[in-house]
Amino acid sequence: MAKWTPQHEAPEPLEGPVVATITGGTILWFVLFLVQIPFYGWFEERDLLWWVWTCLAGAGLGLIGIWYVRKRDAALKRAAPSPPPQPDSPTP
| pLDDT tens-digit series, residues 11-38 | 888 888 999 999 999 999 999 999 999 9
Identify the pLDDT of residue 38: 97
Residue type, 72: R
Q: Using CA atoms, how far apart are residues 36 and 49, in angstroms rounded to an integer? A: 10
Q: Of 13 and 2, which is predicted with more confidence?
A: 13
Is the pTM higher than 0.95? The answer reads: no
| Whole-number Cα distances in Å, 66 to 14, 41, 43, 72, 84 | 18, 32, 29, 10, 32
| Helix ranges (DSSP H) in 37-48 | 40-45
Residue 52: predicted pLDDT: 96
